[in-house]
Chain A
Amino acid sequence: MSDPQRVNIELNGRPVSVPVGHTLLSAVFNAGFGTTRTSVTGQPRGPLCGMGFCHECTVTIDGLFHQRSCMITVRQGMVVETVPLP
């Protein structure tokens, strides 16, 4: 039986269970990933503002790059990758 209070997502290839209503950013952080993306010059970057402005917490969701994880609520079956770009 699946817990109606939780959703399952795939994060960097691992199954992760997250409480319903959490932001994707909190799921990423709680799973132990501090770096969300890399800059043009290859520097690791992590969330700064947490309110959709700084674009530092962007991740790849279902193959689409540069999604702001702080603005997105977790959905069942999401496939999420951090630091996808060279």
Chain B
Amino acid sequence: MKPGADVLIIGAGIVGVACALECARVGLSTLVVESHMVGGGATGAGMGHLVVMDDSPAQIALTQLSCALWKELQPDLPGSVEYDACGTMWVAADHEEMAEVERKSHIYSNAGIVSEVVTGRKLYEYEPNLRPGLSGGLRVKGDAVIYPPTAAAWLLDQAIHKGSKFQKGQAVREVHEGGIVVFENGDRLCARTVVVATGANATKLVPGIALKPRKGHLIITDRYPGHIRHQLIELGYLKNAHQLTQDTVAFNVQPRRTGQLLIGSSRQYGALDSRIEKSITAKMLERAFWYLPHLKDLLCLRVWTGFRAATPDKVPLIGPAPNPVTGRPMEGVWLATGHEGLGITTSLGTARILADRLVGNTPSIPWEPYEPLRFSLQKGPIP
């Protein structure tokens, strides 16, 4: 079969469309295929927090690069993307967490990220509705918030403007070595490189990759402008997010441009259906009410769920896919998935690395930590 495009991207979530834009920008002929709607999966279900995270050097590098790329785009973003440079406040409940604030501030400072250690009264000047008696926090002014589905739609428009093609309505059934894609209706397409960017569903097309769905719930309120000013996250967040086996909740509340509050967060493994679980939302709200007591008086409009694509080391899969049988790189099949809860932020960095690698440029940050083969080339079963 003759390649119909240089790059065929499966999935018009924010990662897929960001990849399309970068590929088109470096001059590759690009086609995006999407079965349902743009940004209709994890993209539309997530919070849209643009945040630098310090879980590992690879995570800092990718989130930092990505936040810088978002800042570059910001002047061009339409109002519908609701870009809001509200910053993040990592909230320290007690002295132990205050020590963590210092540690985190040090890591950020080493990476060149500006943060402000906030103690006592200053915390309440920034966030008067937090419960009394908290120790302080770390304010990261450069973080921001966007509305992910409109951001995805805009990125796709930009890609199309740069010559990318877009095909909607047919789901992909199979992907084969040699860059071959088979659709549900039997149609086939071939590209020099197929990029699987279907989030947690990527295992359906490339079995055996180190990827698991991780369910999350979110709650949104009516409009209460000014109730909070930063995205507020408890410092115990990473501690909770790191639990690989049990259901966890963490305090993570976001102010939207509309004045609405988006209340998170939950993480579940092994929960495969999308129904709303009251036991989980009750725990989320209990935690949110503890930090923000007046939330109790506000009106909730909607609750929903989504699935993050989680890898064992919390770092995405960007590069050649491993063959399910041999574990060797598949010819003409790449992955761009595994972004877990950071895909909105890291979509742009992912796309930059992927496009650089495809045309043989050296990416501006080391790409090896994101290499999908890092799991399949290890001995033993995938964790």
A-side interface residues toward B, CB under 8 Å? 40, 64-66, 85-86
Give the bracket for the number of chain B residues in contact with chain A.
under 10
Which 4 A-B pairs have CB atoms at the shortest separation, nearest pair first? A66-B222, A66-B299, A65-B224, A85-B223
Instruction: List, in ascending order, chain B residues with CB within 8 A of A64's CB.
Output: 297
Q: Could you tell me if B223 and A40 are in contact, using CB atoms closer than 8 angstroms? A: yes
15 inter-chain pairs at a CB distance below 8 angstroms, sorted by A residue, are: A40-B223, A40-B258, A64-B297, A65-B222, A65-B223, A65-B224, A65-B298, A66-B222, A66-B223, A66-B224, A66-B299, A85-B223, A85-B225, A85-B259, A86-B225
Query: What CA separation (Å) do A65 and B298 show in the bound complex?
Result: 8
Instruction: List, in ascending order, chain A residues with CB within 8 A of B299's CB.
Output: 66
Instruction: List, in ascending order, chain A residues with CB within 8 A of B223's CB.
Output: 40, 65-66, 85
Instruction: List, in ascending order, chain B residues with CB within 8 A of A86's CB.
Output: 225
Extra contacts, 13 of them, besides A40-B258, A64-B297, A85-B223 (Cβ < 8 A), are A40-B223, A65-B222, A65-B223, A65-B224, A65-B298, A66-B222, A66-B223, A66-B224, A66-B298, A66-B299, A85-B225, A85-B259, A86-B225
Query: What CA separation (Å) do A85 and B299 show in the bound complex?
Result: 15
B-side interface residues toward A, CB under 8 Å? 222-225, 258-259, 297-299
Query: What CA separation (Å) do A65 and B258 show in the bound complex?
Result: 14
Query: What CA separation (Å) do A85 and B297 show in the bound complex?
Result: 17
Interface of B is mostly: loop
Instruction: List, in ascending order, chain B residues with CB within 8 A of A85's CB.
Output: 223, 225, 259
Task: Name which of B224, B259, B299 has the most chain A CB atoms within 10 A of its CB.
Answer: B299
Q: Which residue of B lies closest to A65 (CB)?
A: B224
Instruction: List, in ascending order, chain A residues with CB within 8 A of B222's CB.
Output: 65-66
Instruction: List, in ascending order, chain A residues with CB within 8 A of B297's CB.
Output: 64
Q: Which residue of B lies closest to A68 (CB)?
A: B299
Instruction: List, in ascending order, chain A residues with CB within 8 A of B298's CB.
Output: 65-66
Instruction: List, in ascending order, chain B residues with CB within 8 A of A40's CB.
Output: 223, 258
Instruction: List, in ascending order, chain B residues with CB within 8 A of A66's CB.
Output: 222-224, 298-299
Give chain A nearest CB distance to B18 CB in angstroms: 28
Query: What CA separation (Å) do A66 and B223 show in the bound complex?
Result: 8
Query: What CA separation (Å) do A65 and B223 show in the bound complex?
Result: 8
Query: What CA separation (Å) do A86 and B257 show in the bound complex?
Result: 11
Query: What CA separation (Å) do A86 and B259 show in the bound complex?
Result: 10
Query: What CA separation (Å) do A50 and B372 show in the bound complex?
Result: 58
Q: Which residue of A lies closest to B223 (CB)?
A: A85
Give chain A nearest CB distance to B283 CB in angstroms: 25
Give chain A nearest CB distance to B292 CB in angstroms: 14
Query: What CA separation (Å) do A40 and B223 show in the bound complex?
Result: 9
Query: What CA separation (Å) do A66 and B222 show in the bound complex?
Result: 8
Query: What CA separation (Å) do A55 and B224 show in the bound complex?
Result: 15
Q: Which residue of A lies closest to B258 (CB)?
A: A40
Query: What CA separation (Å) do A85 and B223 show in the bound complex?
Result: 8
Instruction: List, in ascending order, chain A residues with CB within 8 A of B258's CB.
Output: 40
Q: Which residue of A lies closest to B297 (CB)?
A: A64
Query: What CA separation (Å) do A40 and B298 show in the bound complex?
Result: 17
Query: What CA separation (Å) do A50 and B224 show in the bound complex?
Result: 23
Query: What CA separation (Å) do A64 and B299 show in the bound complex?
Result: 10
Query: What CA separation (Å) do A86 and B258 show in the bound complex?
Result: 9
Q: Which residue of A lies closest to B260 (CB)?
A: A40
Q: Which residue of A lies closest to B227 (CB)?
A: A65
Give chain A nearest CB distance to B256 CB in angstroms: 11
Query: What CA separation (Å) do A86 and B222 show in the bound complex?
Result: 13
Give chain B nearest CB distance to A63 CB in angstroms: 10
Query: What CA separation (Å) do A64 and B258 show in the bound complex?
Result: 17
Q: Which residue of B lies closest to A85 (CB)?
A: B223
Query: What CA separation (Å) do A64 and B298 show in the bound complex?
Result: 8
Give chain A nearest CB distance to B298 CB in angstroms: 8
Q: Which residue of A lies closest to B299 (CB)?
A: A66
Instruction: List, in ascending order, chain B residues with CB within 8 A of A65's CB.
Output: 222-224, 298
Q: Which residue of B lies closest to A64 (CB)?
A: B297
Query: What CA separation (Å) do A80 and B297 show in the bound complex?
Result: 16
Query: What CA separation (Å) do A65 and B297 show in the bound complex?
Result: 9
Instruction: List, in ascending order, chain A residues with CB within 8 A of B259's CB.
Output: 85
Query: What CA separation (Å) do A85 and B259 show in the bound complex?
Result: 9
Q: Which residue of B lies closest to A67 (CB)?
A: B299
Query: What CA separation (Å) do A56 and B259 show in the bound complex?
Result: 18
Q: Which residue of A lies closest to B222 (CB)?
A: A66
